[in-house]
Each structure stands twice: as structure tokens, then as C-alpha cells.
Structure 1
Amino acid sequence: MKVKKVNPFLIAVIILVLTLATYLFVTSQNSDARLPIVKAAPDFTLQQLDGSNFELKENLGKIMLIEFMFTSCPDICPATTYNMVLLQDELKKQESFGSKVQLVAITFDPHTDTPEVFQSYAQRMGIDQSGWRLLRGDEAYTIEKAKEYGIGIQKLDDNQFVHTVTSLMLVDAKQQIRKVYRMGGEMDNTLILKDINTLLKEKT
């Protein structure tokens, strides 16, 4: 039986196509791995629970996951904080909590969220304040700053609030917003941790 000779040109074309396909795949994977820059994180000055001022620029060099919230929120905010505490525990395991990654909760309801109320909320939720910033300030100022971050907030007649559910921001070490997440039960902690670790690798 005569074996048909394979055309060397055809083999070369196949090898070229496979090489090109591999290159495009690897390139797309590397491109997807880098998180896009949304915009620079607007600076702010707010108060910590001990009354001292905190400016965003003080955290330059650290990755931050920032939550805009209020403690009397019945659903989305506590669910978000709960998920952030789970992330806190994972970050502790990889020894990046506090030193490299900081979690931030900013209340836009300072009249209700006094330092005592906010402190009680932190204890109830399991927040380890060694790696968190719990911040409050003038209501109008905080709401205006939230708007600069792209978050809509409306105060209702019963002194409750409604706000954009995409009120969770991932900020890199250069203080650029790199990702915006949905809050509450729709949070994907696996994805968020992956994104944080992507920024940690980028930082090094």
C-alpha cells in the first residue's frame, strides 16, 4: 500500500496557525489578568472612631476595598460587611491583611452612626480594626464624596437611605479605582480575592 506523502507546505501552514492561535490565547489571558483603571480615586478627609482625621492619601501604597454604607441598613450593607469580614479572614491566611490590603467602611449616616454605634456594629460583625478604617464625617460632605465615586444616595423622609448597589470599590496602591462591585448577596468573594491578588502581584 502506497503511503501518500504529506505536503511540507501544508505542515508549515498548520504549525504557523497553531503558533498564532497559541500566541493570541496567551496574549488575551495576560490582557484579561490586568484590571483596567476606572479612574483616580477622589481624595477625602473623614474622621476615624477616635475622632482623628484620616485622608485617603495616607493609605498610598496599600490596596483598599471601600464600602459606602450605613449601619441601620436592613439588608445590603450588613450582607456586604459580612462578606468583607470573610475576605478579611482569607487575607489573614495569606498574611496581606492590614499591611498590604486594607478594608474601609464609610458611613453616610453620621447622625445615627455615632462612634459608639459604629464601634458596636464593628464588634457585632466581627470586624478586626487592625486592618480596617471605619470612617464618618459631615453627612452632606460624605454624600458629595460618594457621588464623586459614582454612587447615588438619596435620604428618605424616615431618615433612611437608598443608594446605588454598586457601592463597593477596589482601589490599587496608586489610589486608582480598578473595579466596582455589586454589594450584598451578589458579591463574589472568590472573584474579589482574585482581583486583590492580581493587584498585589502588580504592586510587586
Structure 2
Amino acid sequence: MSIQRTLLASVIVAAAGGTILMGATDRFQAFTTETARRVALRQHPVATPAVVMLETQSGARINLADLRGQWLLIDFIYTRCSTSCVALGDEFAQLQDRLGAPLARGSVRLLSISFDPAHDTPARLATYLQRSRSRAAGWLAARPVTPEGLAQIKRVFGITIIPNAQGGYTHNAAIHIVDPRGRLVAILDRGNPGRVARILLRELGQ
């Protein structure tokens, strides 16, 4: 799979200098669990939940599995966030431009999932999209309908959420790539939407 070859190249580059660190990190055991998980995904994609109901910004209900058959770019947000979620929204807006043609064809979908469903009503999700300058079809914002669905999503995607002193949350912010078979195949840090777009376009043969 070409996405795995593309991402594996970065691991090879890191490994070239990584041998120097082996003694200082107890043969890399000091590396984070998140880093290890991302590397493992490149060789062993993880199936996303088959049944998780989501409510979108329009109030429609969809099953996460209904989106199979297309590439998904998924981020996790809460609408009161004024830091990383704003940055993620800006990157998704840029991806709307960079991936305009495949989004229009339905071969790619952007999906922002709220992990604060009690607060993030469809109206607030719609406002989040407007604030993020969503301009066309192809970008959904949604919230899990049940606590069990939220728990499944957090577990499979590895979302860490910690309440902070300001009444919000500290959370990991990344873009998750799910292939048309419904498998989580890569997690990329925010900050480089161009790289995300290039990977998707390569997968689509463009």
C-alpha cells in the first residue's frame, strides 16, 4: 500500500540517526506509546468501529461505517476550544481547497468529531464549521450519539482528553487517515496540510 511506503520512508530516515540514541533510551523503550502506535499502524492498520452512530451539524444521523468506500480525514475537536481546534479547523479549510476535486467526487471526506457531545449540539457544530470557513460539501462535523460510541472512538483512535483549569480540555490534536475499507492507516501531526493532501492525492493516483 503506497501510503505505508510513503510514511515508512520517514521511519527509515529517523532510524539512520536513531542508533545513536539506543543506549540513552534503553533500546528505544523510552519512546512514547503514541509514537510506537503510529509506527505500528503503518504495518498493521486498525479497523474502525463498525457501528457508531453520529449526529451531524444538520441533525442527520449516520453510522460511521456508512462512510466506508471513501478516504476519511478525521480530527477530534470540541467547539469551545480556542487553540488546537482552531488550528485544526484552519487546516481542514486548507484541505478543502487542496482536495477540492476528490471531495466533490465523494472519494474523500473530512470529518470533525466532537468529544464533548453534551455541549456540542448540531447548531454549535454548524457554527464551528462556519467559523472554520467551511465552504462546500465534503466536510462534516458530528458528535457521537451514545457514551458507548464515544468510548469506542476514543479507544480505537487513541484520543486522550484531560479536563483543564479553564473548564475546557487538553487533548491530542492530529489528523487521522482512514482508508476506504474503514481502517485507520496513519496519524499525522497537524501543521502540514500540504503533506496530508499529497498523501491522499497519491493514493488516488493524482
Give the TM-score taking structure 1 as reference length.
0.72
Cα separation, partners in 2 of 1:165 and 1:146, compared to 1, 3 Å: same
Deviation string 1:113-143 (CA, Å, 9 cap, x unpaired) is 2222221121121113510121113574454
Q: CA deviation at 1:88?
A: 0.6
* 1:107 lines up with 2:114 in the alignment: yes
In structure 2, C-alpha distance between the alignment counterparts of 1:191 and 1:89, rounded to whole Å: 14
Which of 87, 92, 102 pairs up with 1:96?
Answer: 102
Answer yes or no: is the 8 Å Cα contact 1:82–1:125 preserved in 2. yes
Task: Name the counterpart of 1:190.
Answer: 194
Aligned-residue offset at 1:175 = 1.1
2-structure distance, mates of 1:74, 1:30? 32
Rounded to whole Å, the distance in 2 between the matches of 1:72 and 1:30 is 33
| Residue 199 (structure 2) pairs with residue 200 (structure 1) | no
> Shift of residue 78 of structure 1?
0.8
Alignment of 1:173-188 (within 5 A): 173-183=180-190, 187-188=191-192
Match of 1:68 in 2: 76
Q: Secondary structure at the match of 1:136?
A: strand
Equivalences for 1:3-152 in 2 at 5 Å?
A: 32-33=5-6, 36=42, 37-43=44-50, 44-92=52-100, 95-98=101-104, 99-128=106-135, 130-138=137-145, 140-141=147-148, 143-144=150-151, 145-152=153-160
Is the 1:66–1:106 Cα contact (8 Å) retained in structure 2?
yes
Structure 1: state its 5+ residue gaps.
1-28
- What is the RMSD of the two structures over their aligned residues, measured on CA atoms? 2.6
TM-score, normalised to structure 2, is 0.71
Post-superposition, which runs of at least 4 consecutive aligned residues in structure 1 deviate over 4 A? Answer: none
Encode CA deviations 1:21-70: one digit per residue, 9 max, x unaligned: xxxxxxxx997348734311233211112332211111111001001111
- Work out whether residues 108 and 142 of structure 1, in 8 Å CA contact, stay in contact via their aligned partners in 2: no
Gap runs ≥5 in structure 2:
9-41
Residues 82-103 of structure 1, C-alpha deviations (whole Å, 9 max, x = no match): 01110111111xx111411000
Q: Distance in 2 between matches of 1:30 and 1:67?
A: 18
Larger radius of gyration: 1
Change (3 A) 1:122 1:63: same
Structure 1 residues 153 and 139, CA, compared in 2 at 3 Å: closer, same or farther? farther
Q: Kindly indicate whether the alpha-carbon contact (under 8 Å) linking 1:41 and 1:176 is maintained by their aligned counterparts in 2.
A: yes
Paired letter, 1:199: E
Deviations 1:173-198 (A, max 9, x none): 11111110123xxx211211111123
